Structure 1
């Protein structure tokens, strides 16, 4: 059954070459010999992409996390063996400085997350950071000096202290 699936999924030329091979493992070995070098190159390219990816400003965290997880899944398909903790560490290192406290908390509390659990935690933290930034901006704008209303910045004259007619009137 496996041999049939393999033969159906490869090109006609390869099907013709592999038709007389009896064992599925022999077909797999032959295919690996033919295309193994391409897998190594693709794996190296994906590792380079993974290690050089940094989250850009204003990129949604979920989008960035899914991109990183996609690279890690591609590596797994290409034969790379990266344990779960290392995968989480790679994603954490790709985050901007604003997630420094999250990384510190992760390391101090020796948290253990799957990639998807960590992504959900990070999305929650992102929501808190966005709310905090909005609140901070509102406080900054409301705490700025109030503008003078209608008098054009001129001081009002205090006529009660003014000398002259009013001063004489007050003295009486």
Structure 2
């Protein structure tokens, strides 16, 4: 049944390529081979964009944050597993130097919270 649903949802070109496959698992494995490397490449591309992203002088923090959040979301949807602390670090690295005091405050607050949790 799963194989039938998969075949029905494919383009005619993909259907022709998979008509000899008997099980849904075989189809899934082949699709992963075909498109899995594309997701990994897309993930690398998005992470590269994120690493190279810098807020421009005079630009809106809101717009910049939306752009960075979109990169993070795109990276995660393509297989990247980025924990919350790493996300914060990546975000702070993209901000202008004007926000260095803000970064220090957040870092100090985060460290204090971690210490408080460890003490409990």
C-alpha deviations, 1:9-54, integer Å up to 9, x for none?
5422112333454544432221110122222222221111100000
| Aligned residues: CA RMSD | 2.3
Q: Which has the higher contact order (CA 8 A, sep 6+)?
A: 2
**Hey, which of these two has a bigger chunk of helix by percent?**
2
Q: Distance in 2 between matches of 1:105 and 1:25?
A: 51
Give the TM-score, by structure 1 length. 0.56
Unaligned runs of 5+ in 1: 113-172
Residues 108 and 44 (structure 1), Cα distance of their counterparts in 2 relative to 1, 3 Å cut: same
C-alpha deviations, 1:109-160, integer Å up to 9, x for none?
1178xxxxxxxxxxxxxxxxxxxxxxxxxxxxxxxxxxxxxxxxxxxxxxxx
Q: Which moved more, 1:18-27 or 1:32-41?
A: 18-27
User: Secondary structure of 2:40's match?
Assistant: helix
Q: Distance in 2 between matches of 1:7 and 1:93?
A: 45
Give the TM-score, by structure 2 length. 0.77
Unaligned runs of 5+ in 2: 114-120
1:13 matched residue in structure 2: 13
1:108 matched residue in structure 2: 108
C-alpha deviations, 1:50-88, integer Å up to 9, x for none?
000000012111111111111111111211111121112
